[in-house]
Structures are given as structure tokens and as C-alpha cells.
Structure 1
Amino acid sequence: MRMLVTGGAGFIGSNLAKRLLADGHDVVVLDDFSSATFKNLVDFRGDVLTLDLYADDLNTLQASGPFDVIFHQASITDTTVLDQRKMMQNNAEGFRHLLNLAEMWGSRMVWASSAATYGRGPAPMKESQRPEPLNVYGYSKLSMEDLARQYAPRLKHPIVGLRYFNVYGPGEQHKGKFASMIHQLAKQMRLGKRPRIFAPGDQKRDFVYIEDVMQMNLRAAASKVSGVFNVGAGAAASFNDVVTQLNRVLKTDLPPEYFENPYDFFQTWTEADLTESRASLGYAPKYDLSKGIDAYHASGTLGSD
């Protein structure tokens, strides 16, 4: 099939674009390269469109269509961005432009939401619980979910949003301080430094390995129902647990260096309830924290530049 991957030079998008190409599909990547990197696409042999879904004239994209499936991974993911107008225009209004094209083309759409919509809500987090975003990034994703529901009756195929939890794996190196905690701590430890984490280290995250995210995107592209579904490992691990696992694979013995958390919008415990994801899409994560870190280390990119 003919497929479009927006944000295709980014972490998740580049992994997905290369997977789809390897599976024999005709894949076009779209990215504005404002926060991604060409390095993620050096081994990608499909077409690359350099466009901003909100700010640029989309005639080039429209002429490049139609597409059977759109995987919309593009958005501002920097949660420290305080410019609400910029965040909402880029994420929500850019999505609206793409939804209009999906309606015109008759495309199926899979798109990236976020566990940031849950805020400090109770864990394990269920899709049915009340959203409580703590910043404009989380709100922009919630707004996109509302848009998807409004457009669903107008689209030819089901539209599926994926609430990503803490994704990690090869291809995230370019994100710098916004890369996963697993990558950032590994980078410190490879330099012989003690890993710095918020005190007391018992804060929990649902860390989901990139291969399970790929699995869920492919399942979503065959979905018979529209909706928003969690994408996680289905289990939470503490920051201390991450340090223990990294010491194991890196063969180091570096205790954490604790410091106080400076953020007031911090989630202390995230964990995906996968009941709906299993029932509706047949999702079954294959990587727990230990296995995921093993795979990441085996890739040769854990903690690398």
C-alpha cells in the first residue's frame, strides 16, 4: 500500500517508516526537520517531503497523494514549550489540515496521542478515566482526540489514536534532554558518572520499547473500530529500577545521585491499563524493562550520541 509517515525523521516516525518500507510498502516521509534529524533517514530509500503541516502551503502534499494509510507521528513534543498558540497551532491545527486530506483521499489514519492527557490521574490509567493534562502539550493531544472523534463519521476507515507512554529505543539520540530517561541515564553512566534522578527514586513510569510501539501502529492500521488506545508495557518501573537494569547491562556499579524535582507538572506514577488495547487491537507487549534494555544495548545505541 501507499503510506505517509509524518514526523518521519523523528524517533518513532523513522522506525515506523523503515519498517513499512521493509514490509514492501510505498512509503513517503513528511517532516519539517525542526526537531528531527536526517541521520535517522540515511538508510531510508523512500521519498522525503520537507513540509510543515500547519505553516506551509500543502499543495505539494496534496499533489503527492492519495495515500492508503497515514501514520501521523509529527508534533511538538517539548513539554517545556510555554507558547500555547505555537503548541496548539502546530499540533491541533496541523492535525486538522491532515484530517481534511484524509477525508478527501479516503485514507485510513493512525495518529500519536500521549499519556500526558492523564496528568496525575490514578494509575493504572484507563482510556475511560477523566483526562487531566498538566501542560499545554497534554492539552494539545486531548484537543486532537476531540478532533479525531468529530472527523470519524466523515472518514472512510476507522481512525485510531495511540496514547504513548514512555517510549525508548534506537533512534532517539537526537532528542537530547528530551530523549527517554533510559537513554539519558545510560549516557551519564557510560561516562563513569553517577546517574542523576529525582529523589527518592521511587517515581514510576511505564517504559515501552520501540518494537512494541511498532507492533501497535501496525495493529491500529488494521483496526475495525475507531478510538484512542494505550500503548505501554503494561507495568510500571521506578527510576531506581532503571538504574539497576542499566548497571547490569553496562557492567557498572554506579549508585544514583538524587536531587529534588523542580517541576510542578510532574507525573509521579504512570502505568498503562492495556485491557482495551488487548481486546480491540490484540496488542500484547513483548518487552518488559529488562528485555527492552537488553535489546537497546544490543543495538549499540544505548547512551550513544
Structure 2
Amino acid sequence: MLVLVTGGAGFIGSQVVTALTAAGHGVRILDALLPAAHRTAPPVPEGMEWRQADVRDRAAVEEALRDVDAVCHQAAMVGLGKDFADAPDYVGCNDLGTAVLLAGMARAGVRRLVLAGSMVVYGEGRYECARHGIVRPGPRRGAELDAGRFEPPCPRCGEPLAPGLVDEDAPADPRNVYAATKLAQEHLAAAWARAVGGHAVSLRYHNVYGPGMPRDTPYSGVASLFRSALARGEAPRVFEDGGQRRDFVHVTDVAAANVLALSGAGEVSEGCLRAYNVGSGEPHTVGELAAALARACGGHAPVTTGEYRLGDVRHITASSRRLRDDLGWKPEVRFVDGVAEFASAALRG
């Protein structure tokens, strides 16, 4: 099978390329090498088909789709941006780019798609109130965060909530521009599948970390930012009180999920999109991540700052049961091992 991987030179995309090649698939890469994601041009694997072009370039996309059997769409602009003025860039790159790609697939007769989705489409995660059961708290407000009240209360009685694992049937509630574009990508992919009889899978990534993670760019995740601070001899700065829960999943496990989803996309009903959470199933707080990296690097203990970013959610952790049940996926890299490996890269410089 010949697979086009958009964003195939990126942190996750390059691991997907490696995993697909190891599984015996042919791979063609399309990547714009945006400066925000790539400080330097990455090396192109020997013998790999390569196209440097923006996914919004219709002619380049159509040429890259020639003879392709399936697409893994990893290309995206990520992060929260500086302010709302960045919205056109996010919508253009993520949603217009996806529309151009899907239109090209429709014309080329490519009917199999695996989309890099995101857990951000859920907004806040799953919460339960002792009195009112499952509830959905509203967006956290600046005044509450300024006062150090980081936990969202029950919207009905104001009492504390117990966070749990969110599954794919939870309603979407994107709370920033990036999240809105990731949900729009899923809607576009679903519309494409219905229109052409295609098979689409959205893999909703949780907090991905691992080798090759970009440093000190807008594409750097929190794990990379902490590691970079430690490499500079500084203490990692942890926002809020460090108690926000996330699901940190290793990039090689994410790549394996893409290979399985590609093989299983034909099992998705024709004309449908099926979403899967991709998470480790081991929730950890951001503070725990910072502390684990500091120990592994032998660096300064983390400092909790009380700072916050409007649009961030407090707790979002995944149930990946559907992915395990449908496709037989399971994470292979334990948190403690993955963090040790990730820290060692900083020690090697």
C-alpha cells in the first residue's frame, strides 16, 4: 500500500513514516517545513519519496496523491497561538488545508483516511458530582484563576468534582481556536466520507511526547519545555498548581496506532468516520511530569508559578478502550520508562 503522510517530517509524522515503512508500506511525504515547527530542515530518509509543499497548494496535493492508496493526515498548526489574531492562520492551515486535501482525494479516488485528531475537541474532561452525577463544567474564568481556584466546580451546586476518563461518545466542546479547527477537521472528513463512500478514522491524540519532540518552538509540548529548562540548568516552571491531569502517551505508541488504524480503516463502515482516543491510560499531573523529568535529569525541582493560560482545561484524560477493542492497540511504553528515555536525550545534549 502506498501511503501519503502529510506533515511526515514532523515530530509525530516522522514516527508514523518509520512505523509504516517497518510494516511494509510504501510512503510518500508531503510537508511544508514551516519554520515554527522546523528550526532546520530535517534529513530525508534515503529512498523516501518527498514533496516540500503546503497542503493548501492544490496542484502540489494532486501531484502527491498520484497512485496513492491511503492518506495519513498529520499536517497541522498546533498550540494556542499568541492571541485571537492568530485565528486565520490556524483555520487556514488546519481547515482549509484539510479541505484541499480531501477534495484532491475525492478527485483521485483515494478512499482511505487516517486523521491526526486531538483530545482538545472535548474541552474539559469527564467530571462527576457526588450529588448530580456526570456534569459538564463551563469554561474557567480569569477571576477564578487569578484567585488560585483552578478546579472547576459543579455547575449546579458549586461543590468539588471528581475527574474521570473521557470516552469518544462524550460531546465535543472546543474551548480555543486550535480546538475548534481540530473538530472542524473531523466534520470535514466525515462529510468527505459520506460524499465519496470513503473510510475515515480520527485518532484523538492526548499529550504526545518522546524522541524528536521539537525544542523551544510553538510546537513544543509541555514535556519538551520542561526538559529544555532542565538542560539550561533552570527549574521547570509549572503553571497553575501543577495538579492538572493529562494523559502522556509515547510517540511510538501513537505511530503504532496510525498503522493499525490504516489497516483497519476498511473495517469502518463506508461513508463514515470513527474516532478513537489515543492515550496511555495512565493519568499523571503536569507537576508529576515535571518532577519525574527533574529527577531523571538530576536537575532543579519544579517551581509552581500559579500562572495560567485562558483556554487551557484543568483535567483531560482518556479512555482508549475502543481502540484496544476494535484494533487491538495497546501502549507499550510505560510512563516511567518513557520519561527516563526522554530525559536522557537532554543529558546527551
Pair in the same fold by TM > 0.5: yes
Report the CA distance between 1:60 and its aligned residue.
Answer: 3.5
Aligned to 2:341: 295
Aligned to 1:258: 304
| Alpha-carbon distance change, 267 to 303 in structure 1, aligned in 2, over 3 angstroms | farther
| Alpha-carbon distance change, 257 to 177 in structure 1, aligned in 2, over 3 angstroms | farther
| Alpha-carbon distance change, 156 to 303 in structure 1, aligned in 2, over 3 angstroms | farther
Which is greater in Rg?
2
Given that residues 195 and 255 in structure 1 are in contact (C-alpha distance below 8 angstroms), is that contact kept between their aligned partners in structure 2? Answer: yes
| Alpha-carbon distance change, 304 to 4 in structure 1, aligned in 2, over 3 angstroms | farther
3-state SS of the aligned residue for 1:8? coil
Of 50, 53, 56, 1:51 maps to 53
Given that residues 36 and 174 in structure 1 are in contact (C-alpha distance below 8 angstroms), is that contact kept between their aligned partners in structure 2? Answer: no
1:170 maps to a residue whose letter is: P
| Alpha-carbon distance change, 173 to 87 in structure 1, aligned in 2, over 3 angstroms | closer
> Does residue 100 in structure 1 map to residue 147 in structure 2?
no
Aligned to 1:286: 332
The percent identity for this pair of structures is 29
2:291 maps to a residue whose letter is: T
Q: Aligned equivalents of 1:45 and 1:295: distance in 2?
A: 29
Of 39, 42, 48, 1:40 maps to 42
Aligned to 1:180: 221
Q: Aligned equivalents of 1:50 and 1:269: distance in 2?
A: 37
> Does residue 113 in structure 1 map to residue 157 in structure 2?
no
Alignment of 1:26-175 (within 5 A): 26-34=26-34, 35-37=36-38, 39-43=41-45, 45-54=47-56, 56=57, 58-64=58-64, 65-80=66-81, 82=84, 83-103=86-106, 104-122=108-126, 123-155=164-196, 157-174=198-215
Please list the CA deviations of residues 5-24 of structure 1 after superposition, one character each: whole Å capped at 9, or x if unmatched.
10112111112123323444
| Alpha-carbon distance change, 228 to 302 in structure 1, aligned in 2, over 3 angstroms | farther
TM-score, normalising length: structure 1? 0.90
Given that residues 121 and 131 in structure 1 are in contact (C-alpha distance below 8 angstroms), is that contact kept between their aligned partners in structure 2? Answer: no
| Alpha-carbon distance change, 96 to 286 in structure 1, aligned in 2, over 3 angstroms | same
> Does residue 236 in structure 1 map to residue 239 in structure 2?
no
Q: Aligned equivalents of 2:192 and 2:61: distance in 1?
A: 20
> Does residue 210 in structure 1 map to residue 251 in structure 2?
yes
3-state SS of the aligned residue for 1:219? helix
2:167 maps to a residue whose letter is: K
Aligned to 1:246: 293
Q: Which ranges of structure 1 fall in alignment gaps of 5 or more residues? A: none
Given that residues 297 and 347 in structure 2 are in contact (C-alpha distance below 8 angstroms), is that contact kept between their aligned partners in structure 1? Answer: no
RMSD over aligned CA atoms reads 2.2
| Alpha-carbon distance change, 60 to 92 in structure 1, aligned in 2, over 3 angstroms | closer
1:66 maps to a residue whose letter is: D
Q: Aligned equivalents of 1:153 and 1:195: distance in 2?
A: 47
1:293 maps to a residue whose letter is: V
Q: Aligned equivalents of 1:26 and 1:188: distance in 2?
A: 39
2:234 maps to a residue whose letter is: K
Report the CA distance between 1:288 and its aligned residue.
Answer: 2.8
3-state SS of the aligned residue for 1:292? helix
Report the CA distance between 1:231 and its aligned residue.
Answer: 0.8
Report the CA distance between 1:155 and its aligned residue.
Answer: 4.2
Aligned length: 300
